[in-house]
Amino acid sequence: MAKNIWVFCEQRDGQLQSVALELIGVARELAEKTGEKVCAALLGHKITDKAAELVAYGADEVHVVDDACLEKFVTEQYAQAVTALAKKYEPSVILFGATSIGRDLAPRLSARLKTGLTADCTKLEMDEEGNLFMTRPAFGGNLFATIICPDHRPQMSTVRPGVMKKLERDDARQGEVVVESIEFDTAKFAVKVVDEVRSIQCAVNIEEAKLLVACGRGLKDVKPAYTVAEKLGGSVASSRALVDAGIMDHCSQVGQTGKTVRPEAYLAFGISGAIQHLAGMEESEYIVAVNTDKNAPIFKVANLGIVSDAAAVMKNIEKLL
């Protein structure tokens, strides 16, 4: 019988990604409803020492697959390993981050395990019978759809980074680490990573930033935003309008089709506050919005609203720093 809530714990270059810890946090809430365990799947090479961190953030069991073929993410290798774990342990639920890795891996797994997958969830709830209610934005973010998977197990979902909250780290928390050995079908390894080239613009992950200076179409020149962000110890983010215009890179886009962020401070310059943008930033702790239109929807979520020219306010901040 299918049991326990599993989380695919993403790591890159041996570093656990924040979304993995966030998913363990929500998995704990779900598991408490049914009295099941939270199990983490940790895949990679020379990553076994990261298992303790997953326990500290709430995992009861960490299943580690440490193999040289998993050093860099390649879909087939990872899909084989997670499929083998899923067949061995028959989880009730498997959660993935809605990252480039999770969005690639989860559909392949759902096909191999002949079950459903709800992508890009923003809310997860569980009933006592173990049915998972997976909520995600639909129709351009204008409504939310709650989806269930009553006839198949595991119930699978990808969850956007930054939406769920991780638990406080507790190094006294106890858990079991199980080292797994997988028999890979290497004949199916058709893709090999030869080189990795990183985009300089995307070197900073806006999901991790404590402060974001976010630029919208109302800000004519984005260059001062970089100076202000640097002086304030933050990063630069963007609305989709500037990404579509080719001014900003997609990795800086906040919103429904971009990233979900939850910084301590979100400074929005010349952003209207369309529902698709708000979906990615409204959980920020403190929001400052600068817009010439006093009726701009961004002001509805702002803690501090400034009705003024974005470039002029930016210039004044730059002078003060």
Ligand X SMILES: Cc1cc2nc3c(=O)[nH]c(=O)nc-3n(C[C@H](O)[C@H](O)[C@H](O)COP(=O)(O)OP(=O)(O)OC[C@H]3O[C@@H](n4cnc5c(N)ncnc54)[C@H](O)[C@@H]3O)c2cc1C
Tell me how far, at minimum, the Cβ of 267 lies from ligand X, in Å: 12
Tell me how far, at minimum, the Cβ of 66 lies from ligand X, in Å: 36
17 versus 253: smaller Cβ distance to ligand X: 253
212 versus 254: smaller Cβ distance to ligand X: 254
Neighbours of 3 (CB within 10 A): 18
Q: Give DSSP secondary structure letters for 49-115.
A: GGHHHHHHTT-SEEEEEE-GGGSS--HHHHHHHHHHHHHHH--SEEEEESSHHHHHHHHHHHHHTT-
For residue 20, give the 3-state DSSP assignment.
Answer: helix
For residue 166, give the 3-state DSSP assignment.
Answer: coil
**Strand 155-159 versus strand 117-121 pairing type:** parallel
Tell me how far, at minimum, the Cβ of 215 lies from ligand X, in Å: 8
Task: List residues binding ligand X (CB under 6 A).
Answer: 140, 216-218, 239-241, 253-258, 270-272, 274, 276-277, 280, 290-293, 296, 309-310
Query: What is the rounded distance in angstroms from the CA atom of residue 180 to the CA atom of residue 182?
Result: 6
11 versus 238: smaller Cβ distance to ligand X: 238
Those residues whose C-beta lies under 8 Å from the C-beta of residue 268, and which sit 6 or more positions away, are 214, 216, 281, 287, 288, 289, 290, 291, 298, 302
* Residue of 80, 108, 93 whose CA lies nearest to 153: 93
Query: What is the rounded distance in angstroms from the CA atom of residue 179 to the CA atom of residue 42?
Result: 10
Tell me how far, at minimum, the Cβ of 296 lies from ligand X, in Å: 4
25 versus 280: smaller Cβ distance to ligand X: 280
Largest CA distance in the chain: 64
Tell me how far, at minimum, the Cβ of 263 lies from ligand X, in Å: 16
228 versus 310: smaller Cβ distance to ligand X: 310
170 versus 221: smaller Cβ distance to ligand X: 221
92 versus 272: smaller Cβ distance to ligand X: 272
Residue 124, H or E segment? strand 123-126
- CA 276, 281, 286, 288 dihedral sign is negative
Tell me how far, at minimum, the Cβ of 73 lies from ligand X, in Å: 24
Tell me how far, at minimum, the Cβ of 292 lies from ligand X, in Å: 4
166 versus 315: smaller Cβ distance to ligand X: 315
Tell me how far, at minimum, the Cβ of 212 lies from ligand X, in Å: 13
| DSSP letter assigned to residue 283 | T
